[in-house]
Structure 1
Amino acid sequence: MARIVCVGLGCMDYMFRVNELPSGGGKFFATHYAAAAGGPAAVAALAVAAMGHEAWFIGRLGNDAGGRFMVDSLTERGVNASCVRLVDGFSTQVSSVVVDSHGERQVVNFSDADIAPDASWLPWDVIGQADVVLADVRWPEGGRAALEYARKKGITTVIDGDMAPYDTTALVSLADYIVFSEGGAELVGGQKDLEANLRATAKATGRWVAITAGEKGCCWMDGDIFKHMPKFEIDCIDTLGAGDTFHGAFAVGLAEGMGIEQALRFSSAAAALKCTVPGGSTGIPTREQVDVFLGHV
């Protein structure tokens, strides 16, 4: 069993399912409601645990009902959350997520800007014993410190290169493997075309790069060669948490010694299965479900 440490954002997701996304003001009625652990690093850790490995989430939450719910939820689902810092006077980040019958969503997020960015408290003994360290870009100070420390120790590093309100190039370049969202890649590469953007991000970072592109599947650079993997054909119900599930599963693939293409196929399958179940992170598949799915496609 590999140890995979995920450093970054955790937040509460409050999810409402509707027939159609609201297009203006008014009162709307949900057909389903759920609350679940969210946030890129936290959901990636849940995916790692679901794939049967030792998962750690390290991040900052408010010492409030949301923060305590997050810790309890992560722990109940097999993630070690003992190094989460619950901060007095800080509100746990929250998102209101409205999902329609086609799986499309609208997200309204609140983030408390008052929390200190300090990362000096990170548990270096825990990080130093990891097989893979995965960071997101939503806590840059924590991600930078964790990635720099892990690389000094020779530990494999991965970063979720999602969108952020700053230039993420320097941060993502600290990781061995960068898995971008389309928007995150455009922030670094500056190109609209998928292949052009992938090549631009590889040049800007000097690292192995991939882009997850939803309906367009995923693509990556194999040296100077552009490679593409189409998405799995599934009945999509809810895409919330799919990208984060992909990142956690990709870290698992690396920890297990899979080749790049095998790890990407494994990650794509995990993310696809997540999309077939409503409820955000509560829909992350088990390892058995992923293996069975891959055995039939």
Structure 2
Amino acid sequence: MGKIVVVGSSSIDLVVTSPKRPIAGETVIGESFHIVPGGKGANQAVAAARAGAKVEMVGAVGNDQFGDMVLDNFRKQGVSTKFMKSVTNESTGIAHIVIAEGDNSIVVVPGANSKVDRSLVDRAKEAIKDASVVLLQLEIPLDTVMYVADLCKKWEVPVILNPAPAKILPLELVEKVTYLTPNEHECRAIFRDCADVEKLLKRYPNKIILSEGSQGVRYFDGDRFVRVPALSVNVVDTTGAGDTFNGVFAVALSQGLPLKQAIRYGCVAASLSVTKLGAQGGMPAMEEIRKHVGDEY
């Protein structure tokens, strides 16, 4: 199995569960509160490690208690912290998550994640060059994402860009990455010139891998639209499902699996992940994923 390098965000999630999501000016009584490791980059790194890959995380935390929690969690999960930077006078990134009415709402405060810059990437250049797959997201500066994409294009290293939180992206970045993995909302936010998602999938065959929640994933293979289904499960918490998909999708690609099969592995992993609380709480091991993939894959 190859090596996965994740360049991205690390944070602590402050998770509240509630029967109802408050509207502006309203106070509601919640059911529970949890403090758990999170951040899209960290979640994807843990998902890949849980699925059996060797993972290097390139990121930053504050010199504070939450930063210690993030680094300790990486070590427990088998994710290398060699390229994690501790930043003084900056707090560790925080995500405030409300789980209510079968879905989640998230407010992200980047903190030290804004310090994931070119100089930090330069420290990890050899690891990136030797990677089987590099994972990127948008909770770190866009300049850093562009820089990593440039390096990977030069070195012919496959790149998965999970474009979240959604923003309009330079088309040159879309062209340079190997796979773009948005949901439908993110897809429309990235390409504001095109409200027709199917036209976008046709414009970027085998590149835009569109996540559609419980319906699974859809893409255009050059000849036809392909849907890869998710599992039917009892949903507890959808936080981190997309990150689980991306991490395991990367692992499957690093093993040399064909695109459709690699996507199925990611879909199964994401489905299993939502059956437990927390972004990382339900991330499955590869052995469990294989049990549910299906003979046709």
* Distance 1:114-1:81 versus aligned 2 partners, 3 A rule: closer
* Distance 1:197-1:69 versus aligned 2 partners, 3 A rule: same
Query: Which amino acid counterpart does residue 237 of structure 1 have in structure 2?
Result: V
Query: What is the count of residue pairs matched by the alignment?
Result: 292
User: Take 2:269 and 2:116, find their aligned partners in 1: how far apart are those partners?
Assistant: 32
Query: Which amino acid counterpart does residue 156 of structure 2 have in structure 1?
Result: G
- CA offsets per residue over residues 212-267 of structure 1, 9 Å max, x none? 12133211120243222233211111110000110011111110111111111110
Decide which moves more: 258-267 or 65-74.
Answer: 65-74
CA RMSD of aligned residues (A): 2.3
Matching of residues 34-53 of structure 1 within 5 Å: 34-53=34-53
User: Take 2:158 and 2:67, find their aligned partners in 1: how far apart are those partners?
Assistant: 29
Q: What secondary structure sits across from 1:127 in the alignment?
A: helix
1:6 aligns with 2:6: yes
Unaligned runs of 5+ in 1: none
Query: Which amino acid counterpart does residue 135 of structure 1 have in structure 2?
Result: L
Query: Which amino acid counterpart does residue 157 of structure 2 have in structure 1?
Result: I
Q: What secondary structure sits across from 2:176 in the alignment?
A: coil
User: Take 1:137 and 1:109, find their aligned partners in 2: how far apart are those partners?
Assistant: 12
Query: Which amino acid counterpart does residue 97 of structure 1 have in structure 2?
Result: I
TM-score, normalisation: structure 1: 0.89
Query: Which amino acid counterpart does residue 160 of structure 1 have in structure 2?
Result: N
User: Take 1:296 and 1:100, find their aligned partners in 2: how far apart are those partners?
Assistant: 36
Which residue does 1:256 correspond to in 2?
A: 255
In 2, are the aligned partners of 1:15 and 1:35 still within 8 Å (CA)?
yes
* Distance 1:41-1:100 versus aligned 2 partners, 3 A rule: same
Query: Which amino acid counterpart does residue 120 of structure 1 have in structure 2?
Result: S
* Distance 1:114-1:238 versus aligned 2 partners, 3 A rule: closer
Which residue does 2:33 correspond to in 1?
A: 33
User: Take 1:207 and 1:189, find their aligned partners in 2: how far apart are those partners?
Assistant: 17
User: Take 2:152 and 2:113, find their aligned partners in 1: how far apart are those partners?
Assistant: 28
Dislocated runs of 4+, deviation >6 Å: none
In 2, are the aligned partners of 1:179 and 1:210 still within 8 Å (CA)?
yes
Query: Post-superposition shift, 1:3?
Result: 0.7
Query: Which amino acid counterpart does residue 164 of structure 2 have in structure 1?
Result: D
Matching of residues 47-196 of structure 1 within 5 Å: 47-100=47-100, 102=102, 104-112=103-111, 115-116=114-115, 118-122=117-121, 123-139=124-140, 140-190=142-192, 191-196=194-199
User: Take 2:201 and 2:72, find their aligned partners in 1: how far apart are those partners?
Assistant: 38
Query: Post-superposition shift, 1:169?
Result: 3.3
- CA offsets per residue over residues 14-60 of structure 1, 9 Å max, x none? 11112222235344333332222212221111011010110111112
* Distance 1:67-1:178 versus aligned 2 partners, 3 A rule: same
Which residue does 2:225 correspond to in 1?
A: 226
User: Take 2:114 and 2:41, find their aligned partners in 1: how far apart are those partners?
Assistant: 18
TM-score, normalisation: structure 2: 0.89
Query: Post-superposition shift, 1:168?
Result: 4.6
Query: Which amino acid counterpart does residue 106 of structure 1 have in structure 2?
Result: S
Query: Which amino acid counterpart does residue 60 of structure 1 have in structure 2?
Result: A
In 2, are the aligned partners of 1:179 and 1:209 still within 8 Å (CA)?
yes
In 2, are the aligned partners of 1:163 and 1:187 still within 8 Å (CA)?
no
User: Take 1:134 and 1:71, find their aligned partners in 2: how far apart are those partners?
Assistant: 19
Query: Which amino acid counterpart does residue 199 of structure 1 have in structure 2?
Result: K
1:16 aligns with 2:19: no
User: Take 2:295 and 2:236, find their aligned partners in 1: how far apart are those partners?
Assistant: 21
Q: What secondary structure sits across from 2:82 in the alignment?
A: coil
- CA offsets per residue over residues 266-289 of structure 1, 9 Å max, x none? 100000000111122122111122
Query: Post-superposition shift, 1:4?
Result: 0.2
Unaligned runs of 5+ in 2: none
Which residue does 1:281 correspond to in 2?
A: 280
In 2, are the aligned partners of 1:163 and 1:183 still within 8 Å (CA)?
no
